[in-house]
């Protein structure tokens, strides 16, 4: 099986009164699960959030623009952070990856219960002086409902968001994906009511993906009767841009004194990337080589 089979499409329908995004994200969700060794609930939360972030990042314009979804909750999972760019890359983590709860009343993974009450923050970094930040209280903590509410409250765009992750018995990811459908301001009543009717009929994203695991099929169901026209297609994957050099810059920022302390202890240090869980080991020799760079960067820091 090819590793990067996941992809995302963008479409318009009903004479551009509707714009839509759909994604399959099984492979990238499985990759994140393996990287973070997440429990099924944590995998579901992470997979849903990554699918949402990728589709939201696809709406950004610049090649270096980033979209981050941050959820902070008072439940046992505590929350999560995912960041996507508009090149189809996403990375992320949940704060407590090992959380386990009983299924909810519908017999599903209790993502809302694991997240609890709290806030959803969306950060769009478009390489301007300040990023655009929108925040709302969580509605259910199930993520799709929260993103729907975010669009309504924070951006005044009537939207429907559906996200789903289905696990295999042995706790690997079986299906993952989702959609975002948005109504343009000039949408006619007839279009709105038909779309609402379609959305009402959907029981779950993963049951649609079980029929056929493609973004096209998701949109055919969600936009039934509208004949959606696909306008773009992009491969998506779990990818982190961390490097040892980036972590060494972090060490340099600790300053001469702190690095000398580390060196005098004479032990290797291991730094771990939160987003992808990669570990970077620095030997005492390597830390010593960073010392001259702290002396170069310190006058800058004082400015
Ligand atoms: Zn990383």
Output the CA 117–ligand 1 centroid distance in Å.
28
pLDDT at 46: 98
Whether 199 has a pLDDT exceeding 70, the answer reads: yes
Output the CA 11–ligand 1 centroid distance in Å.
32
Rounded Cα distance, 165 and 206, in Å: 6
Whether 11 has a pLDDT exceeding 50, the answer reads: yes
Instruction: Report the interhelical angle of 26-36 vs 40-57 (nearest 10°).
Output: 130
Output the CA 111–ligand 1 centroid distance in Å.
25
Output the CA 233–ligand 1 centroid distance in Å.
26
Output the CA 109–ligand 1 centroid distance in Å.
27
Output the CA 275–ligand 1 centroid distance in Å.
5
pLDDT tens-digit readout, 260-280: 999 999 999 999 999 999 999
pLDDT at 2: 47
Closest by Cα among 108, 140, 118, 143 to 25? 143
Q: What percent of the chain has pLDDT over 90?
A: 90
Output the CA 174–ligand 1 centroid distance in Å.
24
Main-chain dihedrals φ then ψ at residue 97, nearest 5 degrees: -75, -10
Output the CA 98–ligand 1 centroid distance in Å.
19
pLDDT at 1: 45
Closest by Cα among 24, 21, 52 to 177? 24
Output the CA 33–ligand 1 centroid distance in Å.
14
The residue that leads in pLDDT, 105 or 12, is: 12
Average pLDDT, integer, range 89-113: 95
pLDDT tens-digit readout, 115-132: 999 999 999 999 888 999
Output the CA 68–ligand 1 centroid distance in Å.
15
Q: What angle do CA 223, 226, 232 make, to 5 degrees?
A: 70
pLDDT at 213: 95
Whether 83 has a pLDDT exceeding 60, the answer reads: yes
Tokens 């993963």 — which residue?
206
Order of strands, sheet of 173-183, starting from the edge strand that comes earlier in the sequence: 159-167, 173-183, 18-24, 7-13, 229-235
Average pLDDT, integer, range 168-185: 96
Residues 6+ apart with CB under 8 A from 174: 26, 166, 167, 168, 206
Output the CA 241–ligand 1 centroid distance in Å.
6
Work out the mean pLDDT of the chain and round it to a whole number: 94
Output the CA 224–ligand 1 centroid distance in Å.
40
């Amino acid at each position: 099986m090819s590793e990067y089979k996941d992809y995302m499409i963008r479409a318009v329908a009903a004479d551009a009164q509707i714009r839509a995004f759909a994604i399959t994200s099984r492979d990238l969700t499985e990759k994140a699960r393996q990287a973070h060794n997440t429990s099924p609930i944590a995998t579901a939360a992470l997979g849903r959030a990554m699918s949402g972030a990728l589709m939201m990042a696809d709406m950004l314009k610049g090649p270096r623009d980033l979209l981050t979804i941050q959820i902070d909750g008072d439940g046992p999972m505590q929350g999560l952070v995912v960041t996507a760019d508009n090149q189809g890359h996403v990375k992320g983590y949940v704060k407590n990856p090992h959380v386990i709860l009983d299924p909810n009343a519908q017999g599903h993974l209790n993502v809302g219960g694991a997240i609890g009450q709290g806030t959803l923050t969306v950060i769009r970094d478009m390489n301007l002086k300040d990023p655009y930040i929108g925040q709302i209280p969580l509605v259910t903590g199930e993520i799709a409902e929260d993103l729907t509410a975010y669009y309504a409250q924070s951006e005044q765009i009537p939207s429907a968001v559906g996200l789903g992750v289905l696990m295999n018995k042995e706790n690997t990811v079986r299906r993952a994906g989702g959609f975002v459908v948005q109504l343009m301001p000039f949408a006619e009543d007839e279009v709105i009511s038909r779309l609402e009717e379609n959305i009402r009929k959907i029981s779950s994203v993963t049951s649609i993906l079980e029929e056929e695991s493609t973004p096209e099929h998701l949109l055919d169901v969600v936009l039934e009767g509208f004949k959606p026209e696909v306008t773009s297609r992009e491969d998506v994957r779990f990818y982190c841009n961390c490097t040892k050099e980036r972590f060494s810059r972090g060490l340099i920022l600790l300053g001469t004194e702190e690095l000398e302390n580390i060196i005098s202890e004479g032990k290797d240090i291991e730094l771990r990337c939160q987003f992808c869980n990669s570990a970077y080991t620095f030997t005492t020799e390597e830390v010593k080589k960073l010392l001259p760079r702290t002396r170069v960067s310190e006058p800058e820091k004082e400015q």
